[in-house]
Chains A and B, each alone.
Chain A
Amino acid sequence: MSARHVVAIDQGTTSTRCIVFDQQGRFVSVAQREHRQWFPQPGWVEHDAAEIWANVTKVVPAALAKAGIGPGDVAALGIANQRETAVLWDRRTGRPQGRAITWQDTRVAPLLPELARRVDDPTLRERCGLPLSTYATAPRLTWLLRESPDLRRRAATGDVLFGTMETWLVWNLTGGVSGGVHVTDVTNASRTMLMDLRTLDWDDGLGDAFEVPRAMLPQVRPSATVHGRATQVLPGVVIGAAIGDQQAALFGQACFAPGEAKCTYGTGAFLLLNTGSEPVVSTHGLASTVAFQADGEPATYALEGSIAMTGSLVQWFRDSLAMVRTAPEIETLARTVEDNGGCFIVPAFSGLFAPHWRPEARGGISRLTSHLTRGHLARAVLEATAWQTVDVVEAMNADAGLALTALRVDGGMTSNLLLMQTVSNLLDVPVERPMVHETVSLGAAYAAGLTVGLWPDLAVLRRHWHCGARWAPDMAPAQRELERRGWRTALAQTLTSAEPTPPSTGPPAP
C-alpha cells in the first residue's frame, strides 16, 4: 500500500485547517485560513458557508504541498467540525440559503419558552440527551423556516437541504449538485436535538415539535464509515470519517474506554467523559451525547459539560483590565504571590453554564481587601478555570456513578503550568497532556484511518498516545476544603444576587 498519509480537515469556529498525519499518527504539515464572522445584530453570529467551502478547496492542496505529497498518497480523509451550526442550501444550485447560523448565536432565545411547552425537559433529555438551550441546532431551524414560508415549502419537498458543517463539506466534496452525498454522522446529529440517542436516527416527534420536515434532513451515518469518495479537492480519496470537534478531541486523546475523560481548554472549555455503550441521562445539568460510532458497531456515548469562560476570562484580564501584555504572562504575574489572598472570581459574564445553568447569574469578585495585588487577581482568574472544571467533573462523577481517575487535557491553556497544577490539585487526580496538541484533527484522522484499515484497531491507536507532561496533585486535603468553601461561597453570592428571571439560554437548575 503506497497511500500512507491521512488528511484531516478541522472546520472550526474561526478557521478551517487541514493537517496531514503520517502512519504513526505524527503531525506532518498544516495549512489554515480564517473566515469572516458576521454579527448582523446583537447575539447573532453567522458564517458564510460558501466562503468556508472555498477555504477548504485552498487549505487542503496547501497542506499537501507542504507535506510534499499528492492525493495518491492519501489513504483517507477525515472531517472534524464546529458543531450545531445550521447550513441550508439549494439542492439544485448548491447555493447556501442565507448565512449559516452558528452555535454561538442566541437569536432563538425568545422561542424557547414556547418550545418548552411542546417538549418538556425530562422527555427531551431522555430522548436526545440535551437540555433545551440556544446551543442546539433544532430551534435555529424552527426560526429559519418560520421566517421564510418559501424556505419552508422548498424544505418540505427536499429542494432545500439542511446540514451541519460536515454535511455541507461532504456534499460538496462528493460532487455537490452533481451527485453530492447528503449525510451526517451520529456525533453531529446528537447535537441537533432531533436525533433519538438510542435508535441513532431522526425522531419524528422531535421533528414535529421543532417544525422540521424530514425531507430536508441528511441520512445519519456512523462517524467512521465510508461517507463517499471525493470528486473535488482530493479526487478519488475516501472520506472515511466525519465527527464533531469535541468528540474528535476525545477520540484523538485515545479516551476509548468508559471512565476516560478529556478537557479542551480554549476560549471556553469542553469536558467529555466516555460513558460506554449506554447513554447516561444527566440529572446534574450535563448533556448526554454520542462520542463515536464505527461502521457496524454499537455507539459509544459521552457526558459533556461546557464552560463558557476560561481563556476568554484571561483575555478580559489582558484586554479590558490591561493587567498583562500577553495571555501567557498571567502565569508570571500569578507566581509573584503565594496564593489568591482569599479572593475568588466567578466569571458568570453571561450567566453560568454547566452544571448550574443559571443564565441570570452575573459575575463577581469576592473578598476584596487592601492586601490584594494584581498577582492575587491573576491567581483568582486561573483558579476560576480550575474550579469550573471541578464543578463539571463532580457533576459527571455523580451522573456516571464513577469517579474520574485522571484527566487528559489539550488546548492552548495547557501551556500554563500553574493552571494545570491547580486543576490537578483541586480535582485531586493527575492531569496529563498528550504529545500531539492537535487532538481534534488527530481524532478525525484516527477515525478515517480506521475506516480504510490503515490502523487495524483502537489498541494500535492507543499506543500512539504519548504523555508530553503530567501534573500530580500536591495539596493537603484540609487546604483544598478551605479553598472549596471559598469558591462555593463566592458562587452562591453570584446566584443570590442575580435578578430572578426565567431561564433563556438553558433549563432551570435541577
Chain B
Amino acid sequence: MLLQLVASRADPVSVSDVAAALGVAKSSAHELLRTLTDVGFLAQDADTGRYAVGDGARRLAHGPLDTNLLRSLTTNLVDALAVRSGESAYIGVLRGQQVEVVHHVFRPDDTRQQLEVGDRHEAHATAMGQVLLALDPAAPAVMRTLDPVRLTQRTLDLPALRTRLVEVRQRQWACTVGERTADKADVAAPLRGRGGIVVAAVGLVGDVDQVVSARRDPRPVLLAHVQAAAAAITAELGATL
C-alpha cells in the first residue's frame, strides 16, 4: 500500500505525507520508508529527504533474472575462476528440480571440450544444485515434492540430502564427490543479487582426485577460488541488477 501511495504521486513524498495518508505516527511511517529504501524498492533524495519509487521496485516488473544478462555481467570473473583453478567453471540457476547451466568456461588445458550451456542436471546431485536447493527462494517448494533419483552409488537419498542442505546453509558452499558421475567432484557457492537474494550458483567441476583431498574435502585453494569468484560476482550483481 505504501508503494502504491508513493508510486501514485507525481512528486517525491515526505515522511509527513506518508504518515498523514496512512494515518500512522511519523516514527512508524519513517520505519516503513527506511525498510523499503534498504531493499531498493524506494529511493530517498539526498537533498530533500523525500522518497520516490526505486530501481528495485521497477525491476519487479521485469520478471526473473535474464540468464544472458547474467552471463554477460560475469564473463571476466568466471574466466578468472577457470584460469586460476585450472578446472571448468560454471554458473547455474534452479529450474524446478534441476540446475540449468547458463555459463560455462572450458578447463584451460587445451583439450577439446563441448560448450555445456543449456544442459540441465538433477539439482540434488551437483554442488551448484545443492547450493540452490539450500538457499534459492524457490527451493522450499521444490523440496516438498523432490524424490531424488539415484544416479551413482554416492547419490544422496532424501534424508541425507536434507542433512547436507543444513550444512550447505551453514557453510555457504557445497561440494559433491561422485554423486552425479562416479569420477567427478564439484564445488559451488551462491551468487546474490540486490537485497542479498540468491539468484544463481557459481562452481567448478573436475576429476575427483583433483578437486578433493583423500578425506573428500574440497582442496582449500580451490574452495578459496570459488568463494572469491562468488564474492566478486555478487559485488558486480549488487551494483547492476
**A328-B68, A329-B68, A332-B68 known; A437-B75 Cβ under 8 A:** yes
Closest to B71 in A: A415
Q: Is A326 within 8 A of B69, CB to CB?
A: yes
Q: Is A332 within 8 A of B66, CB to CB?
A: yes
Q: Is B69 within 8 A of A329, CB to CB?
A: yes
Q: Is B115 within 8 A of A471, CB to CB?
A: yes
Q: Is A328 within 8 A of B105, CB to CB?
A: no
- Say whether B76 faces chain A, with CB atoms less than 8 Å apart: yes
Closest to B240 in A: A326
Interface of chain A, main secondary structure: mixed
**A435-B83, A436-B83, A470-B106 known; A412-B72 Cβ under 8 A:** yes
Q: Is A435 within 8 A of B105, CB to CB?
A: yes
In whole angstroms, what is the CA distance A27 to B82 when docked? 12
Q: Is B105 within 8 A of A468, CB to CB?
A: yes
A416 partner residues in chain B, CB cutoff 8 A? 68, 72
B109 partner residues in chain A, CB cutoff 8 A? 466
- Say whether A115 faces chain B, with CB atoms less than 8 Å apart: no
A332 partner residues in chain B, CB cutoff 8 A? 66-68
- Say whether A331 faces chain B, with CB atoms less than 8 Å apart: yes
Smallest beta-carbon distance B113→chain A, Å: 7
Using a Cβ–Cβ cut-off of 8 Å, how many residues does chain B contribute to the interface with A?
25
Smallest beta-carbon distance B29→chain A, Å: 32
Smallest beta-carbon distance B202→chain A, Å: 15
Smallest beta-carbon distance B231→chain A, Å: 16
B71 partner residues in chain A, CB cutoff 8 A? 328, 415, 417
Closest to A437 in B: B76
B82 partner residues in chain A, CB cutoff 8 A? 435, 468
Smallest beta-carbon distance A184→chain B, Å: 31
The B109-167 residues at the A interface (CB cut-off 8 A) are: 109-110, 112-113, 115, 117
From the candidates B66, B76, B104, name the one contacting A469 in the complex (CB within 8 A).
Answer: B104
In whole angstroms, what is the CA distance A487 to B135 when docked? 48
In whole angstroms, what is the CA distance A331 to B118 when docked? 13
Q: Is A469 within 8 A of B62, CB to CB?
A: no
- Say whether B49 faces chain A, with CB atoms less than 8 Å apart: no
From the candidates A326, A328, A468, A470, name the one contacting B79 in the complex (CB within 8 A).
Answer: A468
Q: Is A435 within 8 A of B69, CB to CB?
A: no
A26 partner residues in chain B, CB cutoff 8 A? 83-84
- Say whether B108 faces chain A, with CB atoms less than 8 Å apart: yes
Question: B residues within 8 Å of A by Cβ?
Answer: 62, 66-69, 71-73, 75-76, 79-80, 82-84, 104-106, 108-110, 112-113, 115, 117
